[in-house]
Chains A and B, each alone.
Chain A
Amino acid sequence: MSVVSVEKDAVARTMTITAEFDAPADRVWRLWGDPRKLERWWFPPEVTATVQEHDLVPGGRVSYTCATPGGDRSGWWDVQHVDEPRRIELTMSDPGVPSTSVRIAVADRPGGTRVTILVRFAAGDDMDLLLSLGFDRGLSAAVAQGDALLAADQP
């Protein structure tokens, strides 16, 4: 497995990460097609997450709860587009967090697959989103980043 590229566009508010895996598309698809697998990579290892609803169809919903030292947290995806095992599009809606859309495309390559993940966040409260991402990076990192941002905001 290797990350091939990461492209970030601050104006379009997108990040595109491309990675190559030595596994065929149907096995890659199971990473999100199987809720027990999804629980193990979507969330950071220190978080115990449980996927509740798992309705991977257009208009469907995937919801989850996470037990964290700071209390329980929940969130969900609204699924927009599903083309198994090639493509999925969803919008993440966690309470209090600006919505973020995710598009994952799986293409074949010799010996495996190339997976392109496009993440787009809406203009809005960047700080809220940043702090929510901090959740995924561990709390200390979130605090450090919040501090760094506040420091950088000083005139």
Chain B
Amino acid sequence: MVVDSGERRAVDRLFHALSDGTRRDIVVRTLQGEHSVSALARLYPMSFAAVQKHVAVLHEAGLVAKRRQGREQLVSGDVEALRRAGAVLDALEDVWRARVERMGALLEEDS
């Protein structure tokens, strides 16, 4: 299988996200249950903003899901669901790239 640059970037993000001890800990905790960012912030000797940043990196790498409930931001580590959703999105991308190509060919045909 050819690994394209998009996939490589995704893998880079994943490894970068997991290269930090706090972030690995957040993934493990949120896989066991949903945590609010403020609950997570109480667990580590760092600011709320710093924890929020770690969560953002994990989110970017597709390792945690975020949802908002009132003023709280809830984080859960649903890697499996995200991986499946990612696979669907990859398939959707292939289907739609092919469709767009056919759209372009049709437009050229009758111009």
CA distance A145 to B1 in the complex (A): 12
Q: Is B96 an interface residue, CB under 8 A from the partner? A: yes
A126 with B103: in contact, given A11-B59, A133-B91, A137-B91 (CB under 8 Å)? no
Residues 80-111 (chain B) with a chain A CB within 8 angstroms: 81-108, 110-111
**Which partner residue on chain B sits nearest A9 by CB separation?**
B89
* Cross-interface CB contact of A15 among B83, B93, B104, B108, cutoff 8 Å: B93
Interface size for A (C-beta < 8 A) is 39
Count, A-B residue pairs, CB within 8 A:
106
Q: Is B74 an interface residue, CB under 8 A from the partner? A: no
Q: Which residues of A contact B111 (CB under 8 A)?
A: 22-23, 27
CA distance A117 to B86 in the complex (A): 18
Smallest CB separation, B55 vs chain A (Å): 12
Stretch at the interface among A34-42, A55-63, A71-79, A80-88: A34-42
CA distance A34 to B23 in the complex (A): 52
What 8 A-B pairs come out closest when comparing CB atoms? A1-B104, A41-B102, A133-B91, A8-B89, A126-B84, A10-B85, A23-B107, A136-B95
